[in-house]
Chain A
């Protein structure tokens, strides 16, 4: 008993901080979602209104595209980069450092820079494509409804694949050299080594990183908000941005809270899967 109460004393500061910074906002958001701006209880009215808004299903579909598109390419590109960086070649240390740059650059800086590079009239990307005649006329990357979301996804991939690469690379480096040698003697080609030795060995890393990326993509605000704020015509409006704009631009805190609560439910499922996966990996290792 004595020991237990001492233990509680030690975790108290952490619990206090967690309570103030996480539990209280969550609970308060829950409260906001069922009241009006006067604080009166209104039941599910906020939920009904926000679900009825025209932007909501659009944002939902955009979010699916955003998350799915980002994850698939971040993981594929990240794993390929990791495999490349795990090979022996001259200047590997430099290439490894350079690969990390996108991840190290602050999101807002990256977003602003990309916005300029993608500018229809003055952007370097259109310049480089039109000058040698690859495309006949400038593309409105950020104003054209069919290019803007793919472009946002591309920036997000660029920003996050180094993270995947570095995590997977760490996993690859923990594979004993003997295994590669055994595979070579067993007759494996390079790609067979990748498929039968490397990937199975880093599978737990890839799973964990993928789930983290899903969570981060679901929460994402910076790049999209800094470049398009969800526009044009809601083409890049994903749910987190919709929540943000509902709250701080339309000043509909209660509806934003209602949307948050629903979104939170989805996010919590992913987080739950993530934790379960981590736990089962720990049991599986060796």
Chain B
């Protein structure tokens, strides 16, 4: 009922093209997160979907119907803005019911649907208040309520949590997810926060410089990043990237130290590559490589260690408690089968079976 199909969507301002052909298919009921650094075009894409920006090229279809030239109100979408964009002169109830009022819905139906949404968001005590009398989290909920009341085909969220403090953000994150599980309305959610993306999404679209870098479930992106950008963007602390080349089934780092690979890419001797290792995929091993400790940050459950390994500064996260002190050496090796290799020129993942 609320599928979205984006086909080679392009956006240009004058001669400057900022979206270079983006294609995404979103199934009905799916929660898709567009994530990427500032300026990657994710918000622009969302606004094109909403009808707030013109589509310079390509096609966007909602529910099988091309919406390129339809104004927002004919697209059957609802949007939650970063600033919430609540009408300051209307009460919470009026804000939530505004779209129905514009649609000339009967008064008691508006009242009923506002009440249902308010109940779901625990806003019932505040229906007669004005937005300025609410806290940030409550305003955020009103903005969501305004979207929910309409029962649209697609919900659009534009960085809805970035104006909230850290604790509230975590809470609202799970509220949004719960609401999605209850309503199963197709949702497109834009954020620059990869943790938000990982925790909320059914599927994540990683964007960078106006193109889609990779689309996949959170764990697909985590386990099999298609390229260096996705590898470095997803995960916290982020993946360690070591430069070097391949030789005789080993990775030779810039300083000459060799890391044996569990697989032997054939015919690639001498190829310049980047090796990616996630911090939690280092293990302590007396036969491993020697690394000099820079800092040790215990969090109790695990220990984060910044260290110098094979001429690179890397970060490792260990379940063990590390007693070594800065300046001392520990022996570590990457966990077998958890090593990522990327082409040194294109940054693309080098696949191995």
B18-26, B35-43, B74-82, B220-228: which lies at the A interface?
B74-82
- Contacts A187-B102, A192-B102 hold; do A182 and B73 have CB atoms under 8 A apart? no
- Please, how many angstroms separate the alpha-carbon atoms of A176 and B131 in the complex? 15
- Please, how many angstroms separate the alpha-carbon atoms of A125 and B157 in the complex? 58
In chain B, positions 71-104 with a C-beta closer than 8 Å to chain A are 71-73, 77-79, 81, 83, 85-90, 98-99, 102-103
Q: Which residues of A contact B98 (CB under 8 A)?
A: 183, 186, 196
- Please, how many angstroms separate the alpha-carbon atoms of A201 and B83 in the complex? 17
Q: Is the CB of A196 within 8 A of B87?
A: yes
Shortest beta-carbon distance, B230 to chain A, in Å?
Answer: 31
- Contacts A187-B73, A286-B132 hold; do A182 and B103 have CB atoms under 8 A apart? no
Q: How many residues of B contact A (CB 8 A)?
A: 24
Instruction: State whether the Cβ of A179 lies closer than 8 Å to any Cβ in chain B.
Output: yes
Q: Is the CB of A179 within 8 A of B85?
A: yes
Instruction: State whether the Cβ of B206 lies closer than 8 Å to any Cβ in chain A.
Output: no
Instruction: State whether the Cβ of B33 lies closer than 8 Å to any Cβ in chain A.
Output: no
Closest 10 interchain pairs by CB? A187-B73, A178-B85, A186-B99, A182-B85, A200-B89, A187-B102, A185-B72, A184-B72, A185-B79, A178-B83
Q: Is the CB of A184 within 8 A of B102?
A: no
Q: How many residues of A contact B (CB 8 A)?
A: 18
A residues lining the B interface (CB < 8 Å) = 176, 178-179, 181-188, 192, 196-197, 200-201, 203, 286
Q: Which residues of B contact A176 (CB under 8 A)?
A: 83, 85
What sequence of 0s and 1s flags, for each residue 153-188 of chain B, a beta carbon within 8 Å of any chain A beta carbon? 000000000000000000000000000000000000
- Please, how many angstroms separate the alpha-carbon atoms of A247 and B102 in the complex? 58
User: Could you say which of A183, A184, A185, A187 contacts B103, with CB atoms under 8 Å apart?
Assistant: A187
B residues lining the A interface (CB < 8 Å) = 50-52, 71-73, 77-79, 81, 83, 85-90, 98-99, 102-103, 132, 146, 150
Shortest beta-carbon distance, B90 to chain A, in Å?
Answer: 8
Q: Which residues of A contact B78 (CB under 8 A)?
A: 185
Q: Which residues of B contact A178 (CB under 8 A)?
A: 81, 83, 85
Q: Which residues of B contact A179 (CB under 8 A)?
A: 85, 87
Q: Is the CB of A286 within 8 A of B79?
A: no
- Please, how many angstroms separate the alpha-carbon atoms of A185 and B81 in the complex? 11
Q: Which residues of A contact B83 (CB under 8 A)?
A: 176, 178
Shortest beta-carbon distance, B63 to chain A, in Å?
Answer: 17
Given A182-B86, A188-B73, A200-B89, 18 further pairs, Cβ under 8 A: A176-B85, A179-B85, A181-B52, A181-B81, A181-B85, A182-B87, A182-B146, A184-B51, A184-B73, A185-B50, A185-B52, A185-B79, A187-B72, A187-B73, A187-B102, A192-B102, A203-B89, A286-B132
Q: Is the CB of B85 within 8 A of A197?
A: no
Subset of 15 A-B contacts with CB under 8 Å: A176-B83, A178-B85, A179-B87, A181-B81, A183-B87, A184-B52, A185-B73, A185-B79, A185-B99, A186-B102, A187-B73, A192-B102, A201-B88, A203-B89, A286-B132
Q: Is the CB of B71 within 8 A of A182?
A: no
Q: Which residues of B contact A182 (CB under 8 A)?
A: 79, 81, 85-87, 146
Shortest beta-carbon distance, A204 to chain B, in Å?
Answer: 10
- Please, how many angstroms separate the alpha-carbon atoms of A182 and B144 in the complex? 12
- Please, how many angstroms separate the alpha-carbon atoms of A179 and B132 in the complex? 15
Q: Which residues of A contact B89 (CB under 8 A)?
A: 200-201, 203
Shortest beta-carbon distance, A184 to chain B, in Å?
Answer: 5
Q: Which residues of A contact B99 (CB under 8 A)?
A: 185-187
- Please, how many angstroms separate the alpha-carbon atoms of A178 and B160 in the complex? 13
Q: Which residues of B contact A196 (CB under 8 A)?
A: 87, 98, 102
Closest to A192 in B: B102
- Please, how many angstroms separate the alpha-carbon atoms of A186 and B78 in the complex? 7
- Please, how many angstroms separate the alpha-carbon atoms of A219 and B209 in the complex? 62
- Please, how many angstroms separate the alpha-carbon atoms of A176 and B146 in the complex? 18
Q: Which residues of A contact B146 (CB under 8 A)?
A: 182, 186
Shortest beta-carbon distance, B184 to chain A, in Å?
Answer: 21
Q: Which residues of A contact B102 (CB under 8 A)?
A: 186-188, 192, 196
